[in-house]
Amino acid sequence: MHYIIEGGKKLSGQVTLSGNKNSVLPCMAAALLTEDEIVLSNVPDITDVDVFTEIFKKLGIGIKRKKDKIYIKAKKILETELPDELVKKLRASILLAGPIFARKRKVSFTFPGGDKIGKRSIDIHLQGFKSLGAIISKLSDVYFISKAKKNPIKKIRIFLGEASVTATENLILASVLSESKITIRNAATEPHVYDLCKLLNQMGAKINGVGTNSLKISGVKKLKGAEFRVSDDHINFGTYAIASAITNSKLKIICDKNTDLEPVIEALGKFGIKFDWENNGFLVFSERIVCSEKIVTNIWPGFPTDLMSSTIVLASQAEGSTLCHDWMFEKRMEFVKNLIKMGADISIIDSSKVFVKGKSNLSGHDFESSDLRSGMALVLAALIAKGVSTINNAELIERGYEDVAGSLSSLGANIKMS
């Protein structure tokens, strides 16, 4: 699958944010913790959700989709072995280990797949499971995790070596249905972790400290059904804001007022992008894109790594120079070689830092998208490039962005998918 984009069109109109990919997946995983029905709304139409749905069906779990809602009923979980070929399609598949472990006392899986943006170890997950009293073994490339037979440990403290998002979520999912009191310190605080905790508390879990990096969980015996709206995608918000600025357009981004967008608005605001709230969304525009001197990825509420690639495209259109630094994933910056081919003036300092000088005129090219976020960044670059660009491997982009060609076309871009 590929996108063919002719650059140079101004955008106008409005776009509605879809639900957060990295929130809907852990929320779907939470549904495995109860026999009752969980109904999730604002579910994005993306292929990562389709892969999770396939895995659920293989585990014998009832799941159906109607428009933006997903209905999940895990009356029974028939399998404790996660299907290898599907697990390898996305990193988030590891999130199913926590709830299956909690409900069935055992689970097995192979190393999860996903974007090739760095080493992406799972040691913090495994260490956390051990602290919860699990026995872990590995045979060829399959991990086996099971609950020890002896009495459960009453009080457990887990300190995460890094504030890993999926490790935090996995350990929350493994802890809420238990007989222990569990403290997780240095927990990740991303909006998706917040969503997961909110849903679980609605299901009857007892999680204190939600939204902070110190979570106190009192395990409960049973969880019940719930209806929950997945929060809007803050990365998509940043992506459309950048699309608006670089095409010198004014867009309205319709979103829920409660979506936590502050860290994104603060960082993009430094480039001169303006955000005005009007009734049901933000009017986004910029009179002049200026450089931001330095932009550094951080854990939430810092600047999100998932927006770094698109921000480099923004920096290439700013007056002046911006240092872009992403220490989290050592391969995040590899895609800039494609922007350089298009005419961007970027010096690669090392695997985590690039120095971007604006403003460059870009020209169209043919590319292979290598991961979800850098693929979307190339789409943005193609929107302003002179001539036609082809972005192959668009499947990777469709993993996390809903209807890219349809949404951008409706705003006036010349983009086709085939």
Strands ordered across the beta sheet of 226-229: 62-66, 69-73, 37-41, 226-229
CA–CA gap between residue 256 and residue 254 (Å, rounded): 7
CB of 397 to ligand EPU, least distance (A): 10
Give the nearer residue to ligand EPU in terms of CB position, either 108 or 166: 166
Give me the least distance between CB of 329 and ligand EPU, in Å please: 6
Specify the residue, 4 or 160, whose C-beta has the smaller distance to ligand EPU. 160
Q: Which of 36, 48, 84, 115 is catalytic?
A: 115
Q: How far apart are CA 231 and CA 223, in angstroms?
A: 22
Nearer to ligand EPU, 18 or 166 (CB): 166
Asked if 234 contacts 21 with a C-beta cutoff of 8 angstroms, the reply is no
Residue labelled with tokens 């049901």: 280
Q: Respond yes or no: is residue 276 known to be catalytic.
A: no
Task: Select 124 or 384, whichever has its Cβ closest to ligand EPU.
Answer: 124
Q: How far is the CB of 53 from ligand EPU (least distance, A)?
A: 16
Q: Which is nearer to ligand EPU, 128 or 204 (by Cβ)?
A: 128
> Phi-psi category of 97—alpha, beta or left, where left has phi over 0 and alpha has psi -120 to 50?
alpha
Report yes or no: 56 and 28 within 8 Å, Cβ to Cβ: yes
CA atoms within 13 A on the CB side of 254: 8
What are the φ/ψ torsions at residue 338 (nearest 5 degrees)?
-70, -40
Smallest distance, ligand EPU to C-beta of residue 299, A: 7
Minimum CB–partner distance for residue 118 and ligand EPU (Å): 5
C-alpha distances (whole Å) from 66 to each of 2, 24, 233 are: 27, 15, 20
Residue number, 167 or 362, with CB nearest to ligand EPU: 167
Nearest distance, CB of residue 131 and ligand EPU, angstroms: 13
| Interface with ligand EPU (CB under 6 A) | 21-22, 25, 91-92, 115, 118-125, 162, 164-167, 190, 192, 305-306, 328, 372-373, 400
Q: Which of 134, 97, 90 is nearest to 114 (CA)?
A: 90
Burial-class residue 291 by CB neighbours within 10 Å (0-12, 13-18, 19+): buried
**Catalytic positions:** 115
